[in-house]
């Protein structure tokens, strides 16, 4: 057995300082003649006293990470050693701060939690869209780059729908971190990306309150508590927690995966738009369920039936977000109705989709006018009313539609940024009429269509209407 100490050589790579010692592996910086390289080497902990799962996690990590394309949201796998002789992974070094830094300072402010949480949720969504569930999310496995993007590390327990799950055999006891583990993982389900949403909720809970939602379970019985009881609502632990944040956290921590957010993109959306969070009973919950309810749930939990895993990624994501761009001042004309028709067709095609009604307006003059409608607030409300008027005939449930007035001199950039930040799946917007005279510069719809990160449908009213 080779000893791995800084300075020793592994397959031609020279080990530098140890940067992390996990329960399954140790991570070293690599060095060259001019100092540290932007690479790390991960070596599984093997040998006497170590668990067999360490080497399986190594294989799983290699397989999942090797299958993922380069992305800012996870380290790139550079090369790997043979599992039988010298198992190691060489990966990109992530220059970032681990989330546990914030955890030690919890309770953290709600704005900061929203920023950290939405970046993390977007990274998760990026992963889920590729058929991967991380399944071992914890504050030490989340790093933040200086640009604010969240990076997920350690894919040793991850599940990729396109590859055999080498950890399935380890089902006899739940693998992963018990603190952040979802109820379905407790009973051995390893294919549900919504398990990551639960872990995300547990981390948000910890950031908001400074406490763990279910403590630090040491026995299987303590671990199983989450199959039948919810955590103490965050506002009861730390009263300064805003209601929208409690709503988001408890929505993530639902026992049944089907009652959680359907996608991490939705969590990111809500965290990025606190004013748009639909508050339910969760937001105002003051205490846990009554004893009688607990007893009933406890009885049922002995035969806990986890939700079936959603089918493997189908590129569109489980709950698409559709951005409908309404031009400011657009009233009930033919185009207004054409947009409604187009949205209606999309809603009929997928009953889980959410509609974000957006309008981009030039920033209001700071002084404002004399009349109320001319003040900044008045104008803002006028635009909101117009958006609501557009959406009303669609008769969507409250939680499926949101309204946003973006103040910007550059409507194209504002819409594209919004679509990018919120991981919008589809943009719906009006275009110039058919047969309109050719223009020297492309219009807003043409520019959005060329710059948006997703599909864009340009809707036009029929000529002659």
Partner 1 sequence: MKLALFADIHSNLEAITACLSHAKALGADRFAFLGDLVGYGADPVAVLDLIEEHAADGAVVVLGNHDAAALGRPDDTLSSHARLTIVWTQAQLGEKQRAFLAGLPLSVPDDDMLFVHASAAAPEQWIYITSLREAEDSIRAANTSYIFCGHVHEQKLFYMGADGHPLPFRPVPGTPIPTGKHRQWLAIVGSAGQPRDRNNKACYALADLERSRLTFFRIPYDFALAAHKVRSAGLPERIALRLERGA
Three-state SS at 15: strand
Query: According to the binding rule CB under 8 A, does residue 188 interact with partner 1?
Result: no
Considering only 36, 66, 96, 210, the residue that binds partner 1 (CB under 8 A) is 66
Nearer to partner 1, 163 or 238 (CB): 163
Closest approach, Cβ 282 to partner 1, in A, equals 37
Nearest partner of 277 among 287, 264, 267, judged by Cα? 267
Nearer to partner 1, 21 or 312 (CB): 312
The rounded distance, in Å, linking the Cα atoms of 119 and 103 is 16
Query: According to the binding rule CB under 8 A, does residue 50 interact with partner 1?
Result: no
Query: According to the binding rule CB under 8 A, does residue 298 interact with partner 1?
Result: no
Supply angle C-alpha 341, 342, 346, rounded to 5.
115
The alpha-helical segments, DSSP class H, found in 233-333 are: 234-237, 243-252, 264-272, 281-284, 291-301
| Touching partner 1, residues 126-165 (CB under 8 A) | 161-165
Considering only 21, 168, 295, 385, the residue that binds partner 1 (CB under 8 A) is 168
Considering only 42, 43, 57, 62, the residue that binds partner 1 (CB under 8 A) is 62
> Per CB under 8 A, which region of 28-36, 63-71, 199-207, 234-242 contacts partner 1?
63-71
Q: Which two tokens stand for residue 433?
A: 């009429």
Closest approach, Cβ 83 to partner 1, in A, equals 6
DSSP 71: B
Closest approach, Cβ 172 to partner 1, in A, equals 8
Nearest partner of 29 among 121, 95, 103, 102, judged by Cα? 95
Q: What DSSP element (H or E) covers 429?
A: strand 426-430
Closest approach, Cβ 425 to partner 1, in A, equals 23
Nearer to partner 1, 162 or 372 (CB): 162
Nearer to partner 1, 44 or 231 (CB): 44
Closest approach, Cβ 383 to partner 1, in A, equals 47
Nearer to partner 1, 150 or 167 (CB): 167
Nearer to partner 1, 165 or 407 (CB): 165
136 is catalytic: yes
Q: What DSSP element (H or E) covers 115?
A: helix 110-128
Q: Which two tokens stand for residue 457?
A: 């449908």
Residue 42 CA: distances (Å) to CA of 16, 78, 80: 12, 11, 9
Query: According to the binding rule CB under 8 A, does residue 336 interact with partner 1?
Result: no
Nearer to partner 1, 59 or 399 (CB): 59
**What pairs with residue 457 in β-bridges?**
428
The rounded distance, in Å, linking the Cα atoms of 11 and 86 is 8
Burial of 60 (0-12, 13-18, 19+ CB in 10 A): buried
Residue 138 phi, psi dihedral angles, 5° rounding: -160, 165
Query: According to the binding rule CB under 8 A, does residue 237 interact with partner 1?
Result: no
The rounded distance, in Å, linking the Cα atoms of 93 and 24 is 19
Number of residues lying near partner 1 (CB under 8 A): 18
From the candidates 34, 100, 136, 196, give the one annotated as an active-site residue: 136
Write each residue from 77 to 106 as x if it is in contact with partner 1 (CB under 8 A), else as -, in one continuous string: ------xx----------------------
Residue 34 CA: distances (Å) to CA of 1, 28, 219, 299, 364: 29, 17, 49, 63, 54
Query: According to the binding rule CB under 8 A, does residue 49 interact with partner 1?
Result: no
> Per CB under 8 A, which region of 62-70, 214-222, 251-259, 287-295 contacts partner 1?
62-70
Considering only 19, 279, 295, 312, the residue that binds partner 1 (CB under 8 A) is 312
Chain residues that interact with partner 1, rule: CB under 8 A? 52, 56, 59, 62-63, 66-67, 83-84, 161-166, 168-169, 312
The residues that are catalytic are 136
């Amino acid at each position: 057995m080779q000893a791995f100490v800084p300075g020793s050589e592994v397959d031609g790579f020279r080990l530098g300082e140890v940067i992390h010692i996990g329960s399954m592996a140790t991570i070293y910086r690599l060095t060259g003649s001019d100092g540290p390289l932007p690479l790390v080497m991960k070596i599984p902990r093997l040998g006497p006293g170590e668990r067999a799962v360490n080497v399986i996690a190594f294989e799983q990590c290699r397989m999942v990470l090797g299958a993922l394309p380069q992305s800012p949201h996870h380290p790139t796998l550079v090369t790997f050693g043979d599992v039988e002789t010298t198992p190691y992974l060489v990966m990109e070094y992530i220059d970032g701060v681990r989330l546990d830094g914030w955890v030690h300072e919890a309770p953290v402010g709600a704005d900061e939690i929203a920023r950290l949480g939405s970046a993390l949720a977007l990274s998760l969504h990026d992963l889920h869209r590729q058929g991967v569930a991380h399944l071992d999310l914890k504050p030490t496995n989340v790093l933040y780059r200086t640009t604010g993007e969240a990076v997920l590390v350690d894919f040793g327990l991850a599940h990729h729908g396109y590859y055999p799950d080498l950890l399935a055999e380890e089902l006899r006891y739940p693998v992963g971190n018990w603190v952040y583990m979802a109820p379905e993982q407790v009973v051995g389900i390893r294919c549900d990306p919504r398990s990551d949403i639960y872990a995300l909720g547990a981390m948000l809970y910890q950031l908001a309150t400074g406490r763990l939602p279910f403590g630090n379970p040491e026995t299987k019985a303590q671990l199983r508590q989450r199959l039948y009881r919810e955590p103490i609502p965050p506002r009861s632990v730390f009263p300064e927690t805003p209601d929208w944040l409690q709503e988001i956290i408890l929505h993530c921590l639902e026992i049944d995966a089907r009652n959680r957010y359907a996608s991490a993109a939705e969590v990111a959306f809500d965290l990025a738009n606190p004013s748009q969070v639909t508050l339910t009973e969760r937001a105002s919950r003051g205490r846990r369920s009554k004893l009688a309810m607990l007893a009933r749930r406890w009885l049922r939990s002995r035969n806990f039936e986890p939700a079936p895993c959603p089918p493997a990624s189908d590129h569109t994501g489980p709950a698409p977000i559709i951005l409908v761009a309404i031009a400011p001042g657009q009233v009930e004309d033919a185009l207004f109705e054409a947009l409604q028709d187009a949205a209606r067709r999309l809603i009929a095609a997928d009953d889980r989709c959410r509609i974000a009604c957006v309008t981009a307006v030039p920033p209001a003059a700071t002084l404002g006018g004399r009349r109320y409608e001319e003040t900044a607030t008045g104008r803002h409300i006028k635009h909101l009313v117009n958006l609501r008027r557009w959406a009303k005939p669609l008769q969507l449930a409250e939680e499926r539609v949101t309204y946003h007035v973006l103040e910007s001199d550059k409507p194209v950039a504002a819409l594209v940024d919004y679509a990018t930040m919120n991981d919008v799946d589809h943009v719906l917007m009006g275009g110039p009429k058919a047969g309109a005279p050719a223009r020297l510069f492309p219009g807003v719809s043409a520019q959005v269509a060329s710059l948006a990160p997703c599909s864009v449908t340009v809707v036009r009213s029929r000529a002659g209407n």
